Amino acid sequence: MIISWPEVVLCLDGDAFFASVTQAVHPELKGKPVVTGWERGIATAVSYEARALGIKRGMPCWEIAKQFPHVTITHSDYRLYHLFSEKMFAVMRRYSPCVEVYSVDEGFADLKGMRRPLHMSYEQIAATIKREVENSLGITVSIGVSVTKSLAKLAVNSQKPSGLTVIPGKEIDQILKKTDIEKVWGIGFQTTAFLRKLNINTAYEFAKKSEPFIKQNFSKPYQEIWRELNGEMVYAVNPNAKREYKSITRSSTVTPATNDKDILWARLLVHVEDSFFKARNYNYAVKKVFIFLKDQSFHHHGIEIKLAEATSFPMSIRHELKEGFEKIYKKNMMVRASGATIYEFSENNQKQASLFFGNSEMETKAKSLYPMLESKKVDFGTSLFDSDRLIRKKKEIKLSLPLLSRLE
């Protein structure tokens, strides 16, 4: 017999959160296409009205402004986002003592046992939270409720924006059959390709594979996802969990503006190293890198680099970085700013080795080399691993080429 509610997990996700907050504090923008991220040069959040035009996250802002002149592009206001986030989670905590802040716009709540004290069904609790957040903050949120975190994520993503989806244990198969395997939380592009080779195209087909088959073909993180999709809670709601970043950016102004290729390459690598340094502090592996140069007309020239394997060490992707730089650098372009953004993170301890090749020799070297550099046990004579600069003390960047360029 399938128990409808062995556990109860609510997932709340702010719809196009940064853009929605902008619209909430600027009512004249309600119902209009809005993009945030002007200071980075790429779209970091896209309202649903802007998405309807074909605008996507990661698009260069100058390109959006050129193609869609009626779209409002704003600077990000992280102080304001944090304020809205705190109020959103405060509402959740009124209905559960166990709330996990997963990111600035997404969180989980353990609702098990809350029906009796609140005198409401689980669906009524979810609907009440949704109504209070939307009415008090002027934004929309989507909510999913199910028996595990993974299933609650499928529920919240099944109906957006402003959706409410409840999936008790006896209805798990229905949502799994509707869900493409690439939409499952924790399953990335490469694993999706491997699953398709095994003729597994839906979450249902994956969940219904035998345990021996899963253990034979997949590492522990994917075994845990399989168990979660089958209704077994593996990832408990943790109210003490750290907040997660969706992206990390490092940039600076070039004074005076220059078109010197070596200087720009060196500065860009410093930004890449700085952002990866922070990622390692949070135990992140990185799947995407965006590098950019901003010219004197404030146009951003950038490129997204999609990595075949998530990594925490930019040394192992130096060739990809150099190829990207060559595509955006122009000899006659005077550059006034440069920067790098990293995103699409995964936990290092849940990173699966390549299904086909295994870890590269360079990745192995990087794992042993970077800790020595950061501890100052080895000195390559660059500013790249200056401990004072890495803790963000203001200090002029030296223009010697950093470690990445020396490995070419």
Per-residue pLDDT tens over the stretch 317-335: 889 999 999 999 999 999 9
Q: What pLDDT is stored for residue 153 in this prediction? A: 97
Backbone angles phi, psi at 388, to 5 degrees: -65, -45
Of 157, 182, 165, the closest CA to residue 14 belongs to 157
Strands (E), 261-394: 284-295, 300-311, 335-347
Looking at residue 64, the DSSP 8-state letter turns out to be H
Helix (H, G, I), strand (E, B) or coil at 87: helix
Number of domains in the chain: 3
Per the domain annotation, does 294 fall within a domain?
yes
Contact (Cβ atoms closer than 8 angstroms) between residue 8 and residue 110: yes
- Domain final residue pick, 229, 257, 286: 229
Residue 214 is part of which domain span?
82-229
- Supply angle C-alpha 158, 343, 386, rounded to 5: 160
Per the domain annotation, does 12 fall within a domain?
no
Tell me, yes or no, whether 182 and 63 share the same domain. no
Contact (Cβ atoms closer than 8 angstroms) between residue 197 and residue 189: no
Give the pTM.
Answer: 0.65
> Which pairing describes strands 247-258 and 284-295: parallel, antiparallel, or unpaired?
unpaired
Helix (H, G, I), strand (E, B) or coil at 131: helix
Q: What pLDDT is stored for residue 391 in this prediction? A: 37
Tell me, yes or no, whether 268 and 388 share the same domain. yes
- Domain final residue pick, 57, 79, 101: 79
Per the domain annotation, does 125 fall within a domain?
yes
Tell me, yes or no, whether 22 and 153 share the same domain. no
Please name the residue ranges forming H helices in 251-360: 261-281, 318-328
What's the token pair of residue 248?
């990390």
Tell me, yes or no, whether 153 and 37 share the same domain. no
- Supply angle C-alpha 362, 365, 370, rounded to 5: 115
CATH number of the domain enclosing 40: 3.40.1170.60
* Cα atoms in the Cβ-side hemisphere of radius 13 Å centred on 353: 10
Tell me, yes or no, whether 71 and 93 share the same domain. no
- What is the helix, strand, coil percentage profile of the chain, to 5? 40, 20, 35
- Domain final residue pick, 33, 49, 79: 79
Tell me, yes or no, whether 205 and 327 share the same domain. no
Q: What pLDDT is stored for residue 396 in this prediction? A: 40
Peptide bond into 256 cis (omega under 30): yes
* Cα atoms in the Cβ-side hemisphere of radius 13 Å centred on 228: 24
Distance CA 265, CA 402 (A): 9
Q: What pLDDT is stored for residue 373 in this prediction? A: 57
What's the token pair of residue 174?
């229905």
Q: What pLDDT is stored for residue 354 in this prediction? A: 42
Strand order, beta sheet including 34-36: 45-46, 34-36, 72-74
Q: What pLDDT is stored for residue 399 in this prediction? A: 36
Residues of the chain with pLDDT under 70: 1-3, 241-244, 348-408
Q: What pLDDT is stored for residue 254 in this prediction? A: 84
* Cα atoms in the Cβ-side hemisphere of radius 13 Å centred on 118: 20
Tell me, yes or no, whether 267 and 209 share the same domain. no
Say which of 106, 228, 309, 363 is annotated catalytic.
106
Helix (H, G, I), strand (E, B) or coil at 254: strand
Distance CA 338, CA 404 (A): 17
Tell me, yes or no, whether 42 and 109 share the same domain. no
Distance CA 335, CA 360 (A): 35
What's the token pair of residue 47?
């309202």
Q: What single-letter amino acid sits at 181? A: I
Active site residue 106: yes
Tell me, yes or no, whether 384 and 260 share the same domain. yes
